[in-house]
Structure formats: structure tokens, C-alpha cells
Amino acid sequence: GIQVEQSPPDLILQEGANSTLRCNFSDSVNNLQWFHQNPWGQLINLFYIPSGTKQNGRLSATTVATERYSLLYISSSQTTDSGVYFCAPESGNKLTFGGGTRVLVKP
Amino acid sequence: GAGVSQSPSNKVTEKGKDVELRCDPISGHTALYWYRQSLGQGLEFLIYFQGNSAPDKSGLPSDRFSAERTGGSVSTLTIQRTQQEDSAVYLCASSVGLASIYEQYFGPGTRLTVT
């Protein structure tokens, strides 16, 4: 099956900093989603992004499907951005999740 | 509108007992998915339904696990003779249609603890 690698595994940011999270996947995919898992465990949809670039407030994402990677940008980070970020490419009508990037934003 | 709901939110059971976990998808969503999140395995796919049919059961870890969906809506995941390694958070998701085309939305999960 498809392999998904996320980097870095852990990230500590000072409030206000910018950062980039990366997701590499091993096979061609039809779509890809980014999620934020909050401290209560809820998976919150951030982006549905099979290709191209999308922006939502301080967050943006880019997927280059031909090169099998996706990037999530966090700008002007806030403490509420803390949590685990997962990318999940779709293959065979199911999502395969990476190991996540655990983000801690310090005030 | 209402999101995906799951019940119970927490379940503690003794090893060897059977448990049933319930998922109510977003109204009108034809596709429904079960995933499991555990410390050792991360987030992993279990099974998905299109309508009441399950085209892909490849993620079910053993024959102790089964799932059904009725009326194209509610789904139940049943674990028989629970083992300690079944302890995990069980997540349900739904989408308008197939995941190859449509975004999945997740419920809050059921935390299962097998003692």
C-alpha cells in the first residue's frame, strides 16, 4: 500500500513564528486531506487539496501530485494552533494517514 | 447541520466481552468509514461502506471484528471477545461519495479500553 511520511515529527514554535510541514507519499493519489487533531482528539478538516495551492486564513497548503508531496504552511502561529497535524492521501477509496507532526506553540 | 456522531464516547470492557460501537454519519452522506487510532499503529483504516455494502474490509484486524450499515445511514462496529490490543480510539468518518472524489468528515471517536 501507499507509504506516507511526515516531517518533522515534532515542532516547537514561538507564538508569531511561521513554519512548514511536509508530507511525502509513495504513490499517485486522487486526493489528499490535511487535518488538525486538537487536544480532545477531534480531527478537524483543514484542506482538501489533490493538487495546487489553497489558503484559509493563516494556513495554506500546496500539493504537487506529480512529485508526490504536500506542504502545509502555518503563518503567524498562535497557541491554538498546537496539536497534531496529519496529512492523508487517498488511495483505493480510503485515506492513509502519516505519522503526524506534533506542534507546540509557546506564548 | 449536525456532524458525524459516535456513541459511546468512552467504553471500558473486560477482556473477552463483546462491544458494539455506533456511528451516525452526516445526513445524506452515502460513504461511511471506520478507522482506528492507537499508540503503536497510528491512524489506520478498518472498513468502508458505500450505501449498505462494504467493498473494502481489508483493514479489519481479525475475524473478531465486523461491521454493518443499515438503511444507508447508521453503522455498527462489533468487536467480539475483546483483547487488550483492541484498546484504541475508534473513529468514524463520512463523505458525500467515494473518497477518491469527496472530502471525509470525522466524528469525535469512541475510546475503547479493554482491561
A64-99 CB burial, b ≥16 within 10 A, e <16: ebeebbbbbebeebeeebbbbbbbbbbbbbbbbbbe
Which stretches in chain B have pLDDT values below 50?
none
Predicted local distance difference test score (pLDDT) of residue A39 = 86
Section A75-86 average pLDDT: 97
Section A53-69 average pLDDT: 97
User: Closest approach of chain A CAs to the CA of B45, in angstroms?
Assistant: 7
Predicted local distance difference test score (pLDDT) of residue B63 = 95
Say if CB B82 and CB B110 are below 8 A apart.
no
Tally of helices (H runs) and strands (E runs) in chain B: 0, 11
Please identify among residues 84-103 of chain A the ones whose CB lies closer than 8 Å to any CB of chain B. Answer: 86, 88, 90, 92-97, 99-100
A86 with B43: Cβ contact below 8 A: yes
Residue type, B45: F
Domains (range + CATH), chain B: 5-114 (2.60.40.10)
Predicted local distance difference test score (pLDDT) of residue B1 = 56
Say if CB B110 and CB B23 are below 8 A apart.
no
User: Closest approach of chain A CAs to the CA of B83, in angstroms?
Assistant: 23
- B32: helix, coil or strand? strand
Please give the Cα distance from B52 to A55 (Å, whole number).
36
B41 lies within 8 A of chain A by CB: no
We find that the CATH architecture of domain A4-106 is Sandwich (2.60)
Predicted local distance difference test score (pLDDT) of residue B12 = 98
